[in-house]
Structure 1
Amino acid sequence: MSRITKLLLFSCALPLILFVVYRWGSYSYKDQVAVLAYHHLSDKDKSNVTITPELFRNQLALLKSKGYHFMTLDEFRSFMDGGPAPKRSVLVTFDDGYESFYTYGYPILKELRIPAVNFVVTKDLANPKAPKLAALSKDEIREMSTQTDTIEFQCHSHELHTKVDGIPALTSFMQVNGEMETDEAYRSRVVKDTQMCINSLTGLRQKAVDMYAYPFGDYSKEATELLRQAGIRYAFTVVNRTLSRSDDPMHIPRVNAGNPSITPEALDRMIMRRAVTQNLPFLRKKDTPGG
């Protein structure tokens, strides 16, 4: 039987397989982690990466009721280093370091006893009210870090969360005094920016700062290597699938959970669908930067 024939037969059978999985909840993935990606929580603001606090709480409450295991970063590091992962493992992540995480997300996470990590643009710490959406302050990060050891803060760059002619600054060359920067200047800029982000967060908390979410989900081979040189061990993309043990720790995929159209039930189904197809490589699309 040819590979194409097998694929066609499986494609026909997949809806039935997924129906059984969803209807009876009989599938519990293992050796995988669904890394959930969120950004902003608000009852008023509207965007494709903004959800209400109520929806956020309902999503997490449903997953918890269905037996999902919410990982701490220590558990996640252990898994990436070859350790075990409980069935239905999930890691909650936030990008951008918005103040809405402190106002809405943190109380919900505390109430449900769910760990999470927020990837912070550390430049905003100097003037957290300056951005269009208010950012976390140093005092807010200190408070959350002091009250619990399961809410953590990692890097989303210091000041590279911007674009140059439509291309993310992390992966593009910039003009300095009217001249394009050299290869050496580019490499130095990325390493120094990453080290500045690490140092800014290290001064606010005690745990290791060794994780990075690529701005806009964009990365390159060189940028990844520069982050590694700066001290980053794990880097997160926006490639929309679950994480398996064999994945590159510098190219960690995530499941987009922070779209307002994703109901709690839809998120559960989406995670299970991603977990099923993760075990079937011929159904997976090739990962690309930016998702």
Structure 2
Amino acid sequence: MPTRILMTCLLFAVILYAGYDTLAPKADGTYRDQVAVLMYHHVHDTDHSASTVSTALFREQLSYLLSRGYHFISLGDFKQFLAGGPVPDKAVLVTFDDGYKSFHDFAYPILRELQVPAVNFIITKDLDTPLAPSIPALSPEEIQAMMREMPGLIDAQCHTNALHFKEGKYAGLTGRLPLQGGRTETAEEAEQRVRQDSEACAHKLDGLYGRDGAGDTFAYPYGIYTQRTQEIISAAGFRYAFTIVGEMATRYSDPLAIPRINAGNPAIDPRRLDVTIRQRVVHPAP
């Protein structure tokens, strides 16, 4: 390639990168009557994965959004929004999946400092032996301490009791699993297993909060669910459930299929997260 053409291409690339923010909608990015629900998993400074962000990046993301005029809301605020209540312009809900201990050790101090609410969807079987999983889980004492320190701002909800796994190509929450003796569950047996697991998750959350009906919100492992799954968890008392579909949440969102925007990848810097949210804003607001 001739040198002049190469230099022109490089100059164009630099200009394109410098104008990164211009790829997003113009003006101040203000939106109303919709919520950007952000999804995280693991905040850690020595673990590395596609769903792990460092404490520095997590702080930078939240601080940058605050500086850009975003308003963080709680799970309780979000439920009222779905019921018709108001939320601030540029509303954001922070969610975590998997109930890792790192939420308490690394994410929570930043949330507390910045006064940012969050909900963590926990695998409730881990409450009994939180140090047993390969990535340690939150203990009941840690969850309850955070809820006492930030009342109404920190929540724990359901990511199944014990069905956060895949068996071959099937997810534990939706598939018919193999049984001893070489046979596979019937549809009725699979539904009964999911029903019992959902009821166990709700029961353990009620015990964690110390009141009935506290466990009413669900996040589907791997974002996998079916209409029958929705019916089963609804019968167990869950009124809201979150997916991994990367869209804005509105009052017209199915309460058992609420979208979320992934923010928990180490490649998502603060500016990119801001752009991603603005690109997903629904125009006009529903």
Do structure 1's residue 174 and structure 2's residue 180 form an aligned pair? no
Q: What CA distance in whole angstroms lies between the structure 2 residues aligned with 1:167 and 1:21? A: 38
Alpha-carbon displacement from aligned partner over 1:58-108 (angstroms, at most 9, x marks no partner)? 100111111111111111001111222211010000000000000011111
> If the length of structure 2 is used for normalisation, what is the TM-score?
0.87
Alpha-carbon displacement from aligned partner over 1:237-264 (angstroms, at most 9, x marks no partner)? 0011111221101000000000000111
Do structure 1's residue 147 and structure 2's residue 149 form an aligned pair? yes
Do structure 1's residue 255 and structure 2's residue 274 form an aligned pair? no
SS at match of 1:131: coil
Letter in 1 for 2:137: A
Match of 2:109 among 107, 110, 113: 107
Q: What CA distance in whole angstroms lies between the structure 2 residues aligned with 1:141 and 1:280? A: 39
How many positions carry a matched residue from both structures?
262
Q: What CA distance in whole angstroms lies between the structure 2 residues aligned with 1:142 and 1:245? A: 30
Query: Shift in Å at residue 183 of structure 1?
Result: 2.2
Checking the alignment, whether the CA contact within 8 Å between 2:243 and 2:259 is kept in structure 1 is: yes
Alpha-carbon displacement from aligned partner over 1:265-286 (angstroms, at most 9, x marks no partner)? 11111100111xx3379xxxxx
Structure 2: runs of 5+ lacking an equivalent: 1-18
Letter in 2 for 1:240: G
Query: Shift in Å at residue 24 of structure 1?
Result: 4.6
Q: 1:4 aligns to what? A: none
Match of 1:98 among 92, 97, 100: 100
Q: What CA distance in whole angstroms lies between the structure 2 residues aligned with 1:233 and 1:131? A: 29
Alpha-carbon displacement from aligned partner over 1:171-199 (angstroms, at most 9, x marks no partner)? 10112333222222222111110111111
Give the fraction of aligned pairs with identical amino acids, expressed as a percent. Answer: 46
Q: 2:83 aligns to what? A: 81
Q: What CA distance in whole angstroms lies between the structure 2 residues aligned with 1:186 and 1:71? A: 37
SS at match of 1:119: strand
Q: What CA distance in whole angstroms lies between the structure 2 residues aligned with 1:140 and 1:153? A: 11
Letter in 1 for 2:121: F
Checking the alignment, whether the CA contact within 8 Å between 1:121 and 1:159 is kept in structure 2 is: yes
Checking the alignment, whether the CA contact within 8 Å between 1:145 and 1:151 is kept in structure 2 is: yes
Q: What CA distance in whole angstroms lies between the structure 2 residues aligned with 1:213 and 1:161? A: 10
Checking the alignment, whether the CA contact within 8 Å between 1:43 and 1:53 is kept in structure 2 is: yes
Alpha-carbon displacement from aligned partner over 1:29-56 (angstroms, at most 9, x marks no partner)? 1111100000001111111100001100
Letter in 2 for 1:58: E
Q: What CA distance in whole angstroms lies between the structure 1 residues aligned with 2:132 and 2:25? A: 45
The 10-residue stretch of structure 1 (111-120 or 174-183) with the greater mean CA deviation from structure 2: 174-183
Q: What CA distance in whole angstroms lies between the structure 2 residues aligned with 1:167 and 1:115? A: 34
Checking the alignment, whether the CA contact within 8 Å between 1:121 and 1:158 is kept in structure 2 is: yes
Letter in 2 for 1:65: S
Q: What CA distance in whole angstroms lies between the structure 1 residues aligned with 2:116 and 2:279? A: 23
Match of 1:202 among 182, 199, 206: 206
Structure 1: runs of 5+ lacking an equivalent: 1-15, 282-291
Letter in 2 for 1:152: D
Q: 1:284 aligns to what? A: none
Query: Shift in Å at residue 206 of structure 1?
Result: 4.3
Match of 1:192 among 196, 209, 227: 196
- Within a 5 Å distance, the mapping from 1:224-239 to structure 2 comes to 224-239=230-245
Q: 1:159 aligns to what? A: 162
Letter in 1 for 2:175: S
Q: 1:265 aligns to what? A: 271
The 10-residue stretch of structure 1 (150-159 or 197-206) with the greater mean CA deviation from structure 2: 197-206
SS at match of 2:107: helix
Checking the alignment, whether the CA contact within 8 Å between 1:145 and 1:205 is kept in structure 2 is: no
Q: 1:289 aligns to what? A: none
Instruction: Tell me the C-alpha RMSD between the 2 structures.
Output: 1.8
- Within a 5 Å distance, the mapping from 1:8-157 to structure 2 comes to 19=22, 24-25=27-28, 27-149=29-151, 150-157=153-160
Instruction: Give the direction of change, closer, same or farther, for the CA distance of 1:134–1:186 in structure 2 (3 Å limit).
Output: same
Do structure 1's residue 219 and structure 2's residue 222 form an aligned pair? no
> If the length of structure 1 is used for normalisation, what is the TM-score?
0.86
Which is higher, the Rg of structure 1 or of structure 2? 2
